[in-house]
Amino acid sequence: MATLKNTVVNSSGFINLPSGNVTQRGGSTSGDLRYNSETSAVEFYQGSTWTPTEENTETLIADYDSGLFQRDWRDPILPIENWNLGNSSETSWGRNGTVAENRRIWSTDPHGNAAIIWDTPSNDSASNSDGGWNSSNVDIDYFRFTRHSMWLKRSVVGNGSTYMGTRSNDGVDNRSSGNRTTNPYFYSGGWPGGANEWFLFVGHTWPYRSETGSDHPHTGIYNTSGDKIGNCRDYVYRDGATYAMHRSYLFYSTNTSTSQQYWDPRIDVCDGTEPSIQDLLNNNHHKWRDYVGGNDATAINWPVYNETEQAVQFDGNNEHCSTRFGIAQELLLGGFTFSIIYRYTGSTTATYQALAGNVTGDFFIGKNTGNTNIGIQDGNYNNNVAAGTNAWDGNWHQITYTRSGTSGTVYLDGVQVGSGAWSGADSSAVLIAAESTNFFLTGYMKQFRIYSSAMSPGDVRKSYEIAKKRYNI
């Protein structure tokens, strides 16, 4: 056996490294290696910081990293992130029909998720406009191929015509006939199905100088199973076209009970960066990718990736994500951990802003009523586990919550700040940046992790130290 500067090399095959706590790490040089007795981690020094050599991820079941958020496709030319509840016109979305004939409500989208839906609740008996919109004009390149799409449903079929169309300066040419029109509709006619059936409507506008011919094979009407059940029509841009728009209506309905709903209207440039028809049908373009297990979370109401922050941005109004995990489901019965890297940008006096929650509202991790309080809610409303922290000061932080047995523990930036009894929660889906349809987060996230066990204090500390280095926080 030999001893080299406090390092013991044993002939049977192990090295006993120098050991010390966190406060004993100062004054080191690059390449130093030692065991941190406080965090139970082997660390090495990289010139400015001590970094754990490894992170325990054995029970990591979901890892939503901001770099995997909706990065596969370009955003649509005309997104709907500014839709809000109510019946007024929205920015870029001008109401067609009366105030009573238009509203945005919480309802269920074609994929079973809670989302903001445009609804036509109360049309009059006159044969006129009965709800919908004319969007603002958006810039286009008339040598580019574009696609219009949206989901439509009638909760009450009633009567009247459904429309989805576009407009451009100097009109467009009909793809099949070559005839110019200044009032183009990809679809105009009666409802193609029954009540409470969602259908995806798709139409294309071809580049200038395209020959007349058949519509694009993807043009048409699709049910939620992916079957094409009806036809739409295509158009061709004319010389000098500079803009397009999206418009969709219920029109000429004299049955006052007729009710039509709209979701996810899009204008996409078809250059290989757009979602495919299958992606639209499967909602693959509204995802926060799971790095570990492929359990992608559904992005609801258009949270976006912020390039400057290199993080997912949530607006505090309705944007959030829905996971497939439930607190009480079998995967999490033995204990769990949530680890969240975030930056809160809302008001210091705002109350109840969720980092995590669930659909029914009996689970919550986030900002409590106080300016600095961290709130934890379970089935027993144990809602103030950690108070007096700096968790909501506008800087980047990591909150980690562990549950083992009947107790829960809260950590801020790797340090335990509170604990309390855990009484359970139901099996409804875990939400990111929301609780139920309330308490939406104003701010950013770089990472959201779920573990199927309660992390040890040492592993929590390791996770934070690695996150600091990885995300430069």
Q: How far apart are CA 440 and CA 435, in angstroms?
A: 7
Q: Of 265, 264, 261, whose CA–CA distance to 158 is shortest?
A: 261
Q: What is the DSSP string of 282-322?
A: HTTTSEEEETTT--PEEEES--EEETTTTEEEEESSS-EEE
Check residues 100 and 385 and name the one with the higher pLDDT: 100
Average pLDDT, the chain: 88
Q: What is the mean pLDDT of residues 57-74?
A: 80
Q: Of 364, 365, 337, whose CA–CA distance to 450 is shortest?
A: 337
pLDDT surpasses 50 at 1: no
CATH of domain 60-70+286-471: 2.60.120.200
Q: How far apart are CA 185 and CA 53, in angstroms?
A: 60
Q: Of 377, 367, 382, whose CA–CA distance to 442 is shortest?
A: 367
pLDDT surpasses 90 at 57: no
Residue-wise pLDDT for 290-315, tens only, equals: 988 788 898 888 888 888 999 999 99
Tokens found for residue 188: 């105009």
Same fold, 60-70+286-471 and 93-277: yes
Q: What is the mean pLDDT of residues 378-393?
A: 81
pLDDT surpasses 90 at 410: yes
CA 278, 280, 286: angle at the middle one, nearest 5? 125
Q: How far apart are CA 286 and CA 278, in angstroms?
A: 13
Q: How many CB atoms lie within 10 A of CB 345?
A: 16
Query: Could you tell me the pLDDT band of residue 91, with boundaries at 50, 70 and 90?
Result: confident
Under 8 Å between Cβ of 335 and 454: yes
Comparing 26-40, 167-181, 233-247, 423-437, the range with the smallest average pLDDT is 26-40
pLDDT of residue 286: 82
pLDDT of residue 388: 85
Q: What is the mean pLDDT of residues 364-375?
A: 91
Q: What is the DSSP letter of 182?
A: S
Tokens found for residue 24: 């004993």
* Domain 93-277 CATH assignment equals 2.60.120: yes
pLDDT of residue 5: 57
Q: How far apart are CA 47 and CA 376, in angstroms?
A: 38
Residue-wise pLDDT for 320-354, tens only, equals: 999 988 877 655 667 899 999 999 999 989 999 99
Residue-wise pLDDT for 4-31, tens only, equals: 556 566 666 667 777 777 666 666 676 6
Under 8 Å between Cβ of 344 and 353: yes
Indicate the domain borders of the chain. Answer: 2-52, 60-70+286-471, 93-277
Tell me how far CA of residue 460 lies from CA of 333, 338, 405, 463, 469, in angstroms: 20, 10, 18, 5, 15
Half-sphere exposure of 230 (CA within 13 A, CB side): 17
Tokens found for residue 391: 């968790």
Placement of tokens 């809000």 in the chain: 84
Tokens found for residue 8: 């013991």
Q: What is the mean pLDDT of residues 38-60?
A: 64
User: What percent of the chain is modeled with pLDDT above 70?
Assistant: 86
Q: What's the pTM value of the predicted model, to 2 decimals?
A: 0.74
Residue-wise pLDDT for 177-199, tens only, equals: 999 999 999 999 999 999 999 99
pLDDT of residue 293: 77
Q: How far apart are CA 235 and CA 181, in angstroms?
A: 9
